[in-house]
A and B are shown apart, each in its own frame.
Chain A
Amino acid sequence: MPPPGPPPAWPGRPPPGVGSPLQHPVVPVPAGSVPGVTDTPQDALLELAAHSRSGFPHLVAARDRTERDLDDLRRRLSDVPRDGTTAVVMMGSWGRRERTSGSDDDFLVLVDGERRPDAEPQLERLESLLGLGEAKPGTQGIFGQQVFVGPMVRHIGLQDDTNANLTQRMLLLLESVPVVGRESYRRSLEQVVDGYLAGQAKDYRPPRFLLNDLIRYWRTICVDFAGKARAEEQKWGMRNAKLRLNRKLLFAGGLVPVLLCHLQRQDDQRAFLLDALQAPPTDRLAHAFLRYDAVDEGVRALGAYDRWIGLLDDAETRAHLRGLTREAAAEDPRFRDVRRLAKEFEQGLLALLFETRLSPLAREFVVF
């Protein structure tokens, strides 16, 4: 899709007679009350791109590439034997619709129900179809696994909620897309959402159980990053850049819909969350920037993220960042640019959370 041309008038410019928006009333903003903003975040990135002179070309290209690759993958997996309870689910850049030339195949075979040895497809059936060459999924025991939804949902918190279980559950919620087995995938997602909401949800309140787990997950990623950095110097530059950008996008893209449950009655929160989580995190964030009248900030934040996706699509840049130790990164001009993009991205997210009408919610629910 070609990037849209310059907007006829900048939407952030207040109409005549409007006073200082620095004083923002703390009232909920139902989506219907904002012209042009719908209840669903699907494709909101493209709406925000229409307000940008750049048009987010790298994100748009990555989204197009992901859709093409998903179609291709669906064709390749269509003949793989599968029972009615399973789905092959892509995670990571696939789920974020951000595939670039260097993306790998982070996948799970998601099995609806309890652990059993005969769930199809078995992993070996996928060996020749997924994760070939450089696209090999991560080696931390998270991806390239059969994952059973029963224990995943039953063990939220406490000793049995291992790092892998927490990570797989969160990534399923926040950045996943089914290749085959769409119905099983949907049932699994519903079970995970129900696992958080059942007996916990309240009218017009963000669901605390889910919110706390989401925050725990983000902080766990940060702590694990530091742990890995102590254990090995390798790949510090790339890991740090992804923490500052991709992982932060993931966290914020989950935080926003969870906070927005405050607009919903208890009975409606499930459908609201399931709808929001079907959209890529860039859509969820773009939707929030539009809804909360932070178009200028959203254009800058996602513009910075767009440039990062452009850098990730460059093999030489990827190799450079992978080879960068923490010590070398401090003086490295290219890493300095990445760090600057990450700051711009973070500043936009902070403005969304703390300088708009989302601020009272962030203050009330995110810290404690």
Chain B
Amino acid sequence: MVSHAIVDARSITAHHPLGTSTGHVVELRGQWDLLVRRALDVSTLAVELAALSEPEFLSLCDWLQDAGRGLPFRFLSVHAPTKQLALPEADLVELLLALPPVVDAIVVHPDVLERPERFAALGRTLVIENMDGRKGTGRTAAELEPYFAALPDAGFCLDVPHAGSIDPSMGVAHDLLDAFGERLRHVHVSSVDEDCHHLPLTAEDEEAFGPVLARCRDVPWILEADLPRR
């Protein structure tokens, strides 16, 4: 019989697969070779290439066409732009559709979608993220429901601190998993400050998030801040 003495004390960093977002590496913004090298220091298995502004996104599209095939990650998501949006939405969708097959998921913020149904052509590659407490919509299961109704093939990205910013008891996070857990594709993990800026995960949040993350043991966890130091 397996010994009771073998106790597997897990921490966030022991999760498989764990990866990082490039979004918090502000000093290297737009330098995709260097950003990916930094991400590889965290994990060769999972990554999120975050192109939060449209100019960054355009440079990422070019870079991925050349470098995409050589990337080692088993899970690669691209965070679609949420700022400095100048392109017509239909043109943005065309660019997202043209991303190379190495991209497993494309994360969008629901609050910036003008006409969600335009994104339907992205099929199961599209992933909708829940929003933080500062945003006007996309925060709760009820607010996300119309987006998934318009995009029935879309996956779900649970941003754990976003949900925690609305309900520190994490009830909203559990509601989101109850409603969209079958669509769950990956999670975002970090702590956030009062303005919802991402910070390395604190020990308190790690404990608070534990029961939520324990429902997400099969999907990649993407860190949206530096690895927590313990």
Q: Do A and B bind each other?
A: yes
B10-45 residues with Cβ-Cβ distance < 8 A to A are 10-11, 16
Please name the 9 residue pairs, one residue from A and one from B, whose CB atoms are nearest each other, closest first. Answer: A20-B210, A351-B218, A21-B214, A355-B217, A10-B178, A204-B1, A297-B218, A351-B217, A22-B10
A279-310 residues with Cβ-Cβ distance < 8 A to B are 294, 296-297, 299-301, 303
Complex-state Cα separation, A218 to B137, whole angstroms? 48
State whether the Cβ of B199 lies closer than 8 Å to any Cβ in chain A: no
Cβ-defined contact, B210 with A25, below 8 A? no
Would you mind naming 25 contact pairs between A and B with Cβ atoms under 8 Å apart?
A10-B178, A14-B211, A18-B211, A19-B211, A21-B211, A22-B213, A24-B8, A24-B10, A25-B4, A25-B7, A26-B4, A52-B182, A262-B1, A296-B184, A296-B215, A296-B216, A297-B218, A300-B181, A330-B101, A343-B104, A347-B218, A350-B218, A351-B217, A359-B8, A360-B6
Residue of A nearest to B100 (CB): A331
Q: Which residues of B contact A361 (CB under 8 A)?
A: 2
**Nearest Cβ in chain A — how far from B157, in angstroms?**
14
State whether the Cβ of B192 lies closer than 8 Å to any Cβ in chain A: no
Q: Which residues of B contact A125 (CB under 8 A)?
A: none
**Nearest Cβ in chain A — how far from B152, in angstroms?**
11
Complex-state Cα separation, A354 to B4, whole angstroms? 17
Residue among A26, A296, A348 with most chain B CB within 10 A: A296
State whether the Cβ of A5 lies closer than 8 Å to any Cβ in chain B: no
State whether the Cβ of A102 lies closer than 8 Å to any Cβ in chain B: no
Cβ-defined contact, B181 with A12, below 8 A? yes
Q: Which residues of A contact B4 (CB under 8 A)?
A: 25-27
**Nearest Cβ in chain A — how far from B200, in angstroms?**
18
State whether the Cβ of B166 lies closer than 8 Å to any Cβ in chain A: no
Cβ-defined contact, A26 with B215, below 8 A? no
Cβ-defined contact, A300 with B182, below 8 A? yes
Q: Which residues of A contact B215 (CB under 8 A)?
A: 12-13, 296
State whether the Cβ of B117 lies closer than 8 Å to any Cβ in chain A: no
Complex-state Cα separation, A14 to B3, whole angstroms? 26
